[in-house]
Amino acid sequence: MAAALPIQIEALETRAAELRADVERERSERVIERERAERLVGEGADLARQLARVTDEVAGRKRELQARGAAAKEALATHRAAPLVGTLGRRVRSGISDE
């Protein structure tokens, strides 16, 4: 029985070393996962900033195009509202001849 004790102690020490190695491996994996998560959060924030910039640009372009469209509609309405003026049998609207 006394001879079995050193064998049991050695087995327990071996198992303890294996468990310590497992714990260290788990810690290393968590550190790597944490770093990866932080990097992904940073990338997500960068993408959100890029999206915000693009959205602002699109909104600005939309406002510009709406203003240009409104100006074009106003010009067309003005052109259509101009009276037809007959001169020697020609139809003229706002100084532009149909010929």
Express each pLDDT in 11-56 by its tens digit.
999 999 999 999 999 999 999 999 999 999 999 999 999 999 999 9
- Of all residues in the chain, the percent with pLDDT exceeding 70 is 83
Q: Please give the helix or strand (H or E) that residue 85 lies within, else none.
A: strand 84-87
Q: Name the pTM for this structure.
A: 0.54
The 10 Å Cβ neighbour count of residue 92 is 16
CB neighbour list of residue 82: distance below 8 Å, 6 or more residues apart: 93, 94
Compute the distance between CA of residue 43 and CA of residue 76 in angstroms, rounded to an integer: 49
